[in-house]
Structure 1
Amino acid sequence: MQGLGYGSSRKSSRQSRSRSNKRQKTAGDLNQPLSVSSCTDTYTSDSDDSDYSYSEVSEPKKAGAGPRLEKDEVQHFEWRVGLQMNARYVVSKFLGDGTFGRVLQAKDCKRNRQVAIKIIRNVAKYTRNAMREAEILQDIRAADPKQSHGCVRLHETFFHEADGERLFCLVCEALGMSLYDLLKQNQYRGLWVQDIQSISRQCLEALRFLHADLNLTHTDLKLENVLLRSSEAPLPSKFPREEFWQSQSSSSSSRRSGSGYVRPQSTEITLIDFGNATYELEHHSSIINTRQYRAPEVILSLGWNEVSDLWSIGCIVSELYTGELLFRTHESLEHLALMQRALERFPQTLLAKAGGNHNDRFVVKDPPSTWRLRWPEGAPSEASSNKVRQQRPLHQMVQKQHRSLADFTASLLILDPSKRPSAKHALDHAFLAERFTD
């Protein structure tokens, strides 16, 4: 199941910079139990990695209309500025498209606030999945009435009727840009360490709440699903690691010395997209996460629990510092080899467990009894072998004065999930208490 994010995809921009791509109830505010409106709205006509994106084309279009879609893209219902929904929302802006639907910004005339409306395509399985996400968001809201734990707030749900279709809609709080869009705006230069520290702490606090209070694993943490709360435009700033970034960046096309850099006015963040979230006692899908944020136990089919979210946070922290994906890959064995190169050798216990699952695609047993990754002989190509050889160890990716950040990241990226810290324990790391000037 793929939940709905708010903003743009990184598909096209990944390609351009050599990054890896790739209960129905009945309406109302959630002051009451979650419900779905049965009324008819007045409508005026005008994983693995399923992100929200749209392609604008140069052909003329009506003022105020949504972006024109390329012919091979999913077609969603048309919209216009001023469209009224559920007798209280007036659409003002397009936010994003995805496999499951479209996200629009609107004004809530009843509460005089901005909201994000996620309109699900009229496909039964997508509607079911969106309803499940709404239930999870209701659980989060009930457990966090003061909204103090950094998870997106669902206001209400309803059905919108148009052109003979009933479209399920979720109304959530309006938020700012995603961390990915912030990196993109800065030509994929990382954030200030002060800001990384603040964001890391908030992510862990949100996970402590989800894991301990709700027994809920997010399962799809990535930069696109961490949004700044403030919609205020970032302010011009210097980038304190410009020279280091220029020397380290693997994306030559993005090295634009002297280009503008901005810093968010506030680093307060919110986690979004709970469409794949899984409760402890629910069925656990064998594959979770967007590829580049996926933990080794998931790839090795060893089962997973909430600490898989901690692995994803480790990948996020690294990316916020370097501006680059830590593991740029689309192939599972190569992914494991990159992990081993950047972090440490896989422990025998983990490989033996994978071998016991007859997972000979990834592991091999050398005489007399030593397990290892099936690498380099399992490399799909010489280019793949070269990529792994060129992978830098984690601690070589940071400046010396930021060693504690690398230590913190490494603590989240422990290969053996049984030794990975909980969110609560990760909050005790020295990096989060250190004072930085940059």
Structure 2
Amino acid sequence: MKGGDCFSLFQCCLSNFSSVFPIDEILCTLGEGAFGKVVECIDHDNHGARVALKIIKNIDRYREAAMSEVEVLKRLKTLDADRRYSCVHMLDWFDYHGHVCIAFELLGLSTYDFLKENNFQPFPVKQIRHMAYQIIRAVKFLHKNKLTHTDLKPENILLIDSDYDMEYNREKRRDERTLKNPDVKIVDFGNATYDHEHHTSVVSTRHYRAPEVILDLGWDHSCDVWSIGCILIEYYLGTTLFQTHDSKEHLAMMERVLGPIPTNLLEKTKKRRYVHRNKLDWDIHSSAGRYVKKHCKPLKHYIVSRSEDHRLLFDLIEKMMEYDPSKRLSLEQHILFPLKKTNKI
């Protein structure tokens, strides 16, 4: 069964999983997307443990990505048998009537969903720095093993436990949630790419896409570093920094936040329609120009406190959001001592 018919098979598929995998109960849907669904299950053969089951649509491109993810997850499990790094662990996988199904340890909400359920109230800076330490350490582990994730975003950073304390904010007249435990894990390795593999021209979800990808200059590990910078500023603001769906407008937003794109990058780009006389071809007085000016401001203007915690976080973000990938912070070469002291909260 192919294409749009796959969901008509899901109920039958779910009810029969126990015949091929020791799962006896499907509790609820945890999430769904173009790829398929993720459901929460009970594994009674493992003392009633809860697991997350990712069920992929029986469509060639999704199956291919799922099988690639399985191979990456197998390798990561071997390399990190002690679970020292914050990458999700695969428990097992199987194929059911063309649907690739991957069983994972059960985690909490994604950091995006937690923000959404908390009315996009930013995370406290100490929790951001704690999450940053774990994300960076995990991605450094990937890069050391010649892998680029290529799709880092708040949706793909999951909380280990999304329990929270609730407090009423009298000034804003609303309840606000504070995480009890800010530990996180990285998920979704369907687009992870080894250094020796073909690098597709476009990677990353729009808002977390590095400038070299937009300019079609090629990419490497450093595109993950840019994405982490975008994630951390989103945790700090509560909302996406580059809120656009247009590539040229995206570049204009970058210039508003980070200053002019270096001439050497614009000279090399194959996207000549973005460039005029070695500068970004952008009219700041147009309606789009006014939109960018209204919705973006220089990076340091977003800081809400002069405390050392805030300053160190923004220094890190600024190094991660360096235009030139050759000058961008390299996770393999830098010791993250400013973050390490917040590893316990």
- Structure 1 partner of 2:336: 428
Out of 256, 268, 281, the position equivalent to 1:341 is: 256
User: In 1, distance between residues paired with 2:116 and 2:8?
Assistant: 26
Deviations 1:239-284 (A, max 9, x none): 7xx97xxxxxxxxxxxxx1211111111110000000010001000
| 1:79 maps onto 2:11 in alignment | yes
What is the SS of the residue equivalent to 1:318? Answer: helix
1:204 aligns to 2:130 (yes or no): no
Matched to 2:67, the amino acid is: M
Q: Percent identity?
A: 36
Counterparts of 1:226 and 1:76, CA distance in 2: 30
Q: Distance in 2 between matches of 1:289 and 1:224?
A: 12
What amino acid does structure 2 have at the position aligned with 1:375? W
Superposition pairs of residues 252-263 of structure 1, within 5 angstroms:
257-263=172-178
- The 3-state SS of whatever aligns with 2:29 is strand
Secondary structure, aligned partner of 2:175 = coil
* Aligned position for 1:274: 189
Q: What is residue 236 of structure 1 aligned with on the other side?
A: 166
User: Quick one: which of 28, 49, 62 aligns to 1:93?
Assistant: 28
Assess, with a 3 A threshold, how the Cα gap between structure 1 residues 118 and 434 changes in structure 2: closer, same or farther.
Answer: closer
Does 2:267 align with 1:363?
A: no
Give 1:418's aligned residue.
326
Q: Which amino acid in structure 1 is aligned with residue 290 of structure 2? A: N
Q: C-alpha distance in 2, partners of 1:228/1:425? A: 27
Aligned residue for 1:424, secondary structure, equals: coil
SS of residue matched to 1:93? strand
1:77–1:237 Cα change, 3 Å: farther
Q: Which runs of 5+ in 2 are unaligned?
A: none
Secondary structure in structure 2 of the residue aligned to 1:117: strand
- Equivalent in the alignment of 1:37: none
Cα deviation for residue 123 of structure 1 reads 2.0
More displaced stretch, 123-132 vs 283-292? 123-132
- Tell me, yes or no, if the aligned pair for 2:133 and 2:336 is still in contact at 8 Å: no
CA contact (8 A) 1:76 1:101 kept: no
Amino acid at match of 1:172: F
Of 298, 305, 314, the match for 2:220: 305
Aligned counterparts, 1:24-423, within 5 A? 75-79=7-11, 83-87=15-19, 88-89=22-23, 90-112=25-47, 113-160=49-96, 165-212=97-144, 214-231=145-162, 233-237=163-167, 257-354=172-269, 357=270, 359-365=271-277, 371-376=278-283, 382-390=286-294, 391-399=296-304, 400-401=306-307, 402-423=310-331
**Distance (Å, rounded) in 2 between the aligned partners of 1:337 and 1:123:** 37
Shift of 1:195: 0.3
Aligned partners of 1:429 and 1:334: how far apart in 2? Answer: 35
TM-score (norm 1): 0.71
Q: Report the AA paired with residue 71 of structure 2.
A: E
User: Per residue, is there more helix in 1 or in 2?
Assistant: 2
Number of matched pairs:
333
Quote how far apart the aligned CAs of 1:427 are.
Answer: 4.4
Distance 1:124 1:337 in 2: 36
Q: Work out whether residues 201 and 427 of structure 1, in 8 Å CA contact, stay in contact via their aligned partners in 2.
A: no
Q: Post-superposition shift, 1:75?
A: 3.8
Between structure 1 and structure 2, the one with the greater Rg is 1
Whole-Å separation in 1 of the counterparts to 2:150 and 2:290? 30
Deviates more, 1:120-129 or 1:265-274: 120-129
Match of 1:53? Answer: none
What's the CA shift for 1:76? 5.0
Amino acid at match of 2:281: R
> What letter corresponds to residue 166 of structure 2 in structure 1?
P
Q: CA deviation at 1:428?
A: 2.8
Contact 2:26 2:40 in 1 (8 A): yes
Q: Name the CA shift for 1:360/1:166 in 2 (closer, same or farther; >3 Å).
A: closer
Q: Could you tell me which amino acid in structure 2 is paired with residue 202 of structure 1?
A: Q
Q: Aligned with 1:260: secondary structure?
A: strand
What residue is the counterpart of 1:27 in the other structure?
Answer: none
Equivalent-residue separation in structure 2 for 1:142 and 1:434 (angstroms) = 29
The alignment's C-alpha RMSD in Å is: 2.5
What's the secondary structure of 1:297's corresponding residue?
A: helix
TM-superposed deviation, 1:363:
1.3
* Contact 1:176-1:227 within 8 A present in 2 as well: yes
Per the TM alignment, residue 334 of structure 1 is displaced from its structure 2 partner at its CA by 0.7
Residue type of the alignment partner of 1:98: G
Deviation at 1:435, TM superposition (A): 6.9
